[in-house]
């Protein structure tokens, strides 16, 4: 029973490049969440998606960040024109339901912008 799978585990990008982070939810889960963990800070909600739908993107920066969860394939968090401040650990979580249900996290993608 595979857990939440994220790749890549580590990603290095130069300023101005694009970063694509992928997440496959746990089997049987159709709710996906992205969280960001900055150094010395707590986990912060970014976006909640179900298949082909963005339910809540209130935690996403207004520019350069986008997310999708297509009918087929993994969820993608895309960061365009990365800046040094985007360096962080990005975690994906999934759950079987959207409300008060347990969310399980993937191993994360550690993005470093140089």
Partner 1 sequence: QKEVEQNSGPLSVPEGAIASLNCTYSDRGSQSFFWYRQYSGKSPELIMSIYSNGDKEDGRFTAQLNKASQYVSLLIRDSQPSDSATYLCAVPNSGGSNYKLTFGKGTLLTVNP
CA distances from 2 to 17, 27, 31 (A): 31, 7, 16
Exposed/middle/buried for residue 7 (C-beta within 10 Å: 0-12, 13-18, 19+): middle
Residue from 2, 14, 41, 72 touching partner 1 (CB under 8 A): that is: 41
Comparing CB distances to partner 1, the nearer of 1 and 100 is 100
Closest listed residue to residue 39, CA positions, set 101, 91, 83, 89: 89
Comparing CB distances to partner 1, the nearer of 18 and 52 is 52
Comparing CB distances to partner 1, the nearer of 48 and 113 is 48
Query: Which residues of the chain form contacts with partner 1 (CB under 8 A)?
Result: 31, 33, 35, 41-45, 48, 55-56, 59, 91, 95, 98-108
């Amino acid at each position: 029973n595979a857990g939440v799978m994220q790749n890549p585990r580590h990603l290095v990008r130069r300023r101005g490049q694009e970063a694509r982070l992928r997440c496959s939810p746990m089997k049987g889960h159709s709710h996906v969440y992205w969280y960001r963990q900055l150094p010395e800070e707590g986990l912060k909600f970014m976006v909640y998606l179900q298949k082909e739908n963005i339910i809540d993107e209130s935690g996403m920066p207004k520019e350069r960040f986008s997310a999708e969860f297509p009918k087929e394939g993994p969820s993608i968090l895309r960061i365009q024109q990365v800046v040094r401040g985007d360096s962080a650990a990005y975690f994906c979580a999934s759950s079987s339901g959207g409300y008060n249900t347990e969310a399980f996290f993937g191993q994360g993608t550690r993005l470093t912008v140089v």
